[in-house]
């Protein structure tokens, strides 16, 4: 099968980008011909250059005079299509319009050149609208995947109108093509929030490459803690996520600040991830938590593995998620997870031998969850074994079956 994957941020180390890379790699290992076109960076590269990635091919958007001229002609029509969703300054709206016009014509050129059996588009952002419009205009079979939904989380800052997500969901369903979501909670949100037909949604969970994570070895943990200057008696809580409002690292800071001094003693919170940490630092100083919180920032893959094996617990307090890959990564490293009971994917992952849930999104509830988790004994080998059942290969086998549904739908059109 010739599969065209559309997504973005492949140059970054986000959960979304990691999932795309794993899906591409495993689809290729199943004897499929896989081409990936990232939507970012938005500015086309000057020269056409393909990149090989574990059996798949990445084709960054490149500059074409023919495509550019065709895009200029279509701008008046494209303006009508985009007007509803463009927000911000005039310059920002103009940039988004030009990006849409060029990308749509570029996508149509690639579709005609590559002749995919099916296209798999990951996400519902404005940058992906031209790809959706291209496949629907040309009648190419496609599958859409939501790695989460943004319509109901006001903490997510968007550069376009939120109505785009619902409009795309409903227009895809109207044409009868499959939409997948990464957890049952996301499915419930879409059905409830968009009055969406349940039969149009398929739940396909995420996976983890367990070989990237070493089993919990006490002697190695001791060595690593000496290397990074962390006392062996310290209970280390780890968050791996970009620093932003949605990831809500501030909730852990507030919980640590609310603890009694004896509860807080020998607890250390490590914040790993890129982003502006100034607000977190301000709260750390305000709560006198300089000895309890270390802002690590962005790290290499190798150093990230060290932090997974230094830690005793993984904690995630996001306001919304789709299916956090970091849950599976933490389990692969043998780490018990502390999180809220209402966070997406808990229903699929929860095991009382591997997770501690805060029953409410309150400081008191999170404090209780942290204290209970750190006082409890955990079987880290059992937790790692749980992660072994989350196979990317099996995930991709499910996707292939859904691709067949899309192809059959295309043949009936």
Give the model confidence (pLDDT) of 313-370 as tens digits: 999 999 989 899 999 999 999 999 999 999 988 989 999 999 999 999 999 999 999 9
CATH number of domain containing 137? 3.40.50.2000
Q: Residue 228 and residue 210: Cα distance in Å, rounded?
A: 24
- Its domain, for residue 53, covers 2-207+392-412
Shared-domain flag, residues 157 and 81: yes
Shared-domain flag, residues 76 and 194: yes
Shared-domain flag, residues 239 and 369: yes
- The yes-or-no verdict on residue 413 having pLDDT over 60 is no
Q: What digits encode the pLDDT tens for the residues 174-229?
A: 899 999 999 999 999 999 999 888 777 999 999 999 888 877 677 788 999 999 99
- The yes-or-no verdict on residue 401 having pLDDT over 70 is yes
Per the CB < 8 A criterion, the answer to whether 203 and 166 are in contact is no
Q: Residue 349 and residue 60: Cα distance in Å, rounded?
A: 35
pLDDT band of residue 41 (cuts 50, 70, 90) is low
Shared-domain flag, residues 40 and 147: yes
- Alpha-carbon dihedral 129, 130, 135, 141, rounded to 10 degrees: -30
Number of domains in the chain: 2
Q: Which residues of 108-139 are buried (b: 16+ CB within 10 A; e: fewer)?
A: bebbeebebbbbbbbbbbbbbbbbbbbbeeee
Q: Residue 280 and residue 323: Cα distance in Å, rounded?
A: 25
Q: Is 373 helix (H, G, I), strand (E, B) or coil?
A: helix
Q: Residue 3 and residue 28: Cα distance in Å, rounded?
A: 9
Contacts of 161 (CB under 8 A, 6+ apart): 84, 85, 86, 87
Q: What digits encode the pLDDT tens for the residues 60-118?
A: 888 899 999 999 999 999 999 999 999 999 999 999 999 999 999 999 999 999 999 99
Q: Residue 106 and residue 103: Cα distance in Å, rounded?
A: 5
Shared-domain flag, residues 219 and 136: no
Contacts of 226 (CB under 8 A, 6+ apart): none
Judged by average pLDDT, the poorest of 199-203, 244-248, 267-271 is 199-203
pLDDT value at residue 411: 64
- The yes-or-no verdict on residue 412 having pLDDT over 60 is no
pLDDT value at residue 49: 77
């Amino acid at each position: 099968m010739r599969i065209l994957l559309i997504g973005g941020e492949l140059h970054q180390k986000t959960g979304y980008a990691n999932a795309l890379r794993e899906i591409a790699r495993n689809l290729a290992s199943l004897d499929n011909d896989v081409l990936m076109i990232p939507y970012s960076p938005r500015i086309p590269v000057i020269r056409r250059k393909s990149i090989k990635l574990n059996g798949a091919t990445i084709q960054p958007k490149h500059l074409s005079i023919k495509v550019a001229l065709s895009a200029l002609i279509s701008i008046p029509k494209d303006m009508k299509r985009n007007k509803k969703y463009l927000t911000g300054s005039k310059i920002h709206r103009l940039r988004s319009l030009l990006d849409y016009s060029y990308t749509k014509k570029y996508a149509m050129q690639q579709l005609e050149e590559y002749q995919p059996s099916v296209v798999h588009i990951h996400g519902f952002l404005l940058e992906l609208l031209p790809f959706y419009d291209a496949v629907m205009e040309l009648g190419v079979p496609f599958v859409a995947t939501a790695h989460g939904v943004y319509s109901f989380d006001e903490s997510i800052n968007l550069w376009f109108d939120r109505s785009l997500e619902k409009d795309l969901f409903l227009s895809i369903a109207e044409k009868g093509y499959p939409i997948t979501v990464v957890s049952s909670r996301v499915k419930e949100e879409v059905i409830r929030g968009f009055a969406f037909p349940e039969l149009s949604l398929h739940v396909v969970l995420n996976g983890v490459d367990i070989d990237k994570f070493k089993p919990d070895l006490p002697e190695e943990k001791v060595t690593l803690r000496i290397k990074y200057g962390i006392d062996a008696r310290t209970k280390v809580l780890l968050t791996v996520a970009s620093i932003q409002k949605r990831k809500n690292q501030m909730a852990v800071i507030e919980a640590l600040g609310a603890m009694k001094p004896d509860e807080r003693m020998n607890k250390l919170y490590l914040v790993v991830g890129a982003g502006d940490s100034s607000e977190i630092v301000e709260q750390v100083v305000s709560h006198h938590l300089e000895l309890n919180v270390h802002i690590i920032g962005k790290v290499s893959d190798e150093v990230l593995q060290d932090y997974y094996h230094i830690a005793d617990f993984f904690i995630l307090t996001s306001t919304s998620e789709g299916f956090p890959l970091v849950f599976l990564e933490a389990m692969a490293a043998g780490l018990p997870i502390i999180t809220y009971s209402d966070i997406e994917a808990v229903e699929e992952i929860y095991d009382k031998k591997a997770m501690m849930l805060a029953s409410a999104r309150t400081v008191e509830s999170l404090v209780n969850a942290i204290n209970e988790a750190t006082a409890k004994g955990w079987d880290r080998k059992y937790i790692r074994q749980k992660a072994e059942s989350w196979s990317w290969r099996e995930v991709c086998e499910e996707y292939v079956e859904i691709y067949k549904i899309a192809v059959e739908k295309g043949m009936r059109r």
